[in-house]
């Protein structure tokens, strides 16, 4: 097994980040500095990162949680009861709610968050006032940002009146605060922002602050969507 794949499976980091650790000289195999692309035997070779031994972790946990408002994504793992090392896949700011996936599977995490794999994330966003069709059309085309133009989005109107508009927005790449920055650009005021799906995994009727483990079928579908 390639050393970066081993580290990803062990939940240390994504393959890309693992390669960076190797280049920085922080990874050792049998007390020798690891090299990029190095093959190892997980059952025989001793692997250390920053001096700490890393054991193979073939079985990962995959958990979804309905993040409440006011909780940071980085603290989401404190709301679940598990002995496994799990980390949030992507982020939601404190004011946003909804689906966060937690896992120790670094390889899957990288594929779900990297723009290259285009795994869709679906949000339900409530705006103050009426959002007209012209603005929705502009939202779908993407916006110019410092790091480049965002990919096109899919926007569906769920309900609208003079007081508020509820849109379902599907994004195909992970850009920081993309929906909130989109609102700023089009002078829209967000009343609530909730992520309801990542790829084939839906929040469903999971209550705020609650969590559950994914089923085997859900895990397989998620990996398929990320081309793992």
Active site residue 107: no
Token pair 């309801």 in the structure block, residue = 196
> What are 33-39's contacts with CB under 8 Å, separation 24+?
34/3, 35/3, 36/4, 37/2, 37/3, 37/4, 38/2, 38/3, 39/1, 39/2, 39/3
Phi, psi of 32 (to 5 degrees): -120, 145
Question: Do 125 and 139 touch, CB atoms closer than 8 A?
Answer: no
Which is the catalytic residue, given 93, 105, 107, 133?
93
What pairing do the DSSP bridges indicate for beta strands 164-171 and 154-160? antiparallel
What pairing do the DSSP bridges indicate for beta strands 52-54 and 32-33? unpaired
d(CA 135, CA 185): 10
Burial 80-103 (b: 16+ CB within 10 A, else e): beeebebbbbbbbeeebbbbbbbb
d(CA 80, CA 174): 24
**CA-based angle 222:198:103, to the nearest 5?**
60
- 3-class secondary-structure state, position 203: coil
Active site residues: 93
């Amino acid at each position: 097994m390639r050393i970066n794949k081993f580290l990803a499976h062990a939940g240390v980091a994504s393959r890309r980040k693992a390669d960076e650790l190797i280049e920085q000289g922080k990874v050792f195999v049998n007390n020798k500095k690891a090299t990029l692309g190095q093959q190892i035997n997980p059952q025989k070779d001793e692997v250390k990162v920053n001096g700490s031994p890393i054991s193979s972790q073939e079985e990962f946990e995959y958990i979804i949680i309905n993040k409440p408002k006011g909780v940071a994504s980085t603290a989401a793992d404190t709301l679940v009861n598990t002995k496994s090392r799990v980390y949030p896949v992507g982020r939601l700011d404190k004011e946003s709610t909804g689906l966060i996936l937690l896992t120790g599977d670094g390889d899957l995490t990288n594929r779900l968050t990297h723009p290259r794999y285009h795994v869709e994330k679906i949000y339900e966003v409530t705006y103050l006032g009426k959002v007209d069709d012209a603005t929705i059309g502009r939202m779908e085309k993407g916006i110019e940002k410092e790091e480049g133009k965002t990919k096109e989005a899919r926007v569906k109107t769920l309900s609208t009146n003079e007081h508020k508009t509820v849109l379902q927005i599907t994004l195909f790449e992970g850009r920081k605060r993309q929906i909130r920055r989109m609102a700023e650009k089009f002078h829209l005021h967000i009343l609530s922002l909730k992520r309801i799906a990542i790829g084939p995994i839906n929040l469903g009727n999971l209550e705020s602050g609650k969590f559950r483990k994914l089923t085997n079928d859900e895990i397989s579908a998620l990996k398929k969507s990320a081309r793992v």
